[in-house]
Amino acid sequence: IQISLAAFLLFIVLENVIGTITGPSLIFYIESVGGSNEDYGLTTSSVCLGMTLMMFYFGKWVDSNGNKYQAPLRFAFILGIIGSIIYFVASILPTGFWGVNAILVGRFVQGMGTAGKTLTKSWIATAIPFDQQKTVFAVLSMIGIVGQAIGPLMNVLVAEIDMEIPITSSYSISLNPYNSVGLLVAFNEVLIWVIIALFLQDPPPKKEKSLSSATGEDEPATEAGMYDILNAMMHFDIFFPL
């Protein structure tokens, strides 16, 4: 468990550092490929849309595979790698429609991967004893702030990137402070993927519990479906709990 927590600490630091690099440069990257403020708004929203669409499926994945987190988390980082590469490729495509929409798609796929990374909280709720969870969450939040503090320093270094990557004798790709972010994020995702694959330990499988009736006989537990979840969300008591 301690090794897994250490892996999560490093993961949170790296994610927060990279997050503070991506945000400030996004608007300038979109403008460099011919985008507008409206395109920036859509691209920012696409991350949240990707998270919203995938979060339920990642949770369902863990519930259905015996409380194992390795495969869902690895898949989440693979999505992050794919999205980051698309994000970078946008600078190679023609400006305008293709470049702008490549950034949008890249950020959308990154958002899908981010949805899976929220499983870290579920892992803690499952693997850490209840009386220790508040301390663990507090430490993780503190570490996240440290990552956000390091981010601006990284921005200073990223701002100095200006080079050409030769592909053939007559063609090269320009690497600048905007498109280089995609490669940095992709490298970060690969690094965290390796850390999770090597050091994350799955918590023990969940034990099925039965509900006891008034007569003392066991009754089979029922599983909530999508209709039950939506119905509970619209219930009056969820907004005004007694």
Tens of pLDDT, residues 41-94: 999 999 999 999 999 999 899 989 888 899 999 999 999 999 999 999 999 999
Q: Supply the DSSP symbol for 14.
A: H
In 10 A of CB 115, how many CB atoms? 23
Which residues, listed in sequence order, are joined to residue 175 by a DSSP beta bridge?
A: 163
Cα–Cα distance measured from residue 140 to residue 146, given in angstroms and rounded to the nearest whole number: 10
Region for 36 from its dihedrals, namely left if φ exceeds 0, alpha if ψ lies in -120 to 50, beta otherwise: beta
Closest CA to 121 of 75, 59, 170: 59
- Give the integer Cα–Cα distance in Å for 228 and 3: 38
Of the two residues 154 and 184, the one the predictor is more confident about is: 184
CB neighbourhood size of 93 (10 A): 16
| Model pLDDT, residue 211 | 44
Q: What pLDDT is recorded for position 85?
A: 96
Sequence-distant (≥ 6) Cβ neighbours of residue 5 within 8 angstroms: 136
Q: Is pLDDT above 80 for 15? A: yes
Pairing of strands 163-166, 218-219: unpaired
For the record, the structure tokens of 99 come out as 């470049």
Q: Which two tokens stand for residue 145?
A: 């702030």
Q: Report the C-alpha gap between 197 and 194 in whole angstroms.
A: 5
Provide the pLDDT confidence category of residue 222 given band limits of 50, 70 and 90: low
| 166 three-class SS | strand
User: Residue 93 carries which side chain, given as an amino acid letter?
Assistant: L
CA dihedral 190, 16, 135, 73 (to 10 degrees): -30
DSSP 3-state percent helix, strand, coil across the chain (nearest 5): 70, 5, 25
Helix (H, G, I), strand (E, B) or coil at 159: coil
% pLDDT > 70, the chain: 84
Cβ–Cβ under 8 Å, residues 173 and 96: no
Instruction: Decide if 42 contacts 104 (C-beta within 8 A).
Output: yes
Predicted confidence (pLDDT) per residue in 146-177, tens digit: 888 888 888 888 888 999 888 887 888 889 99
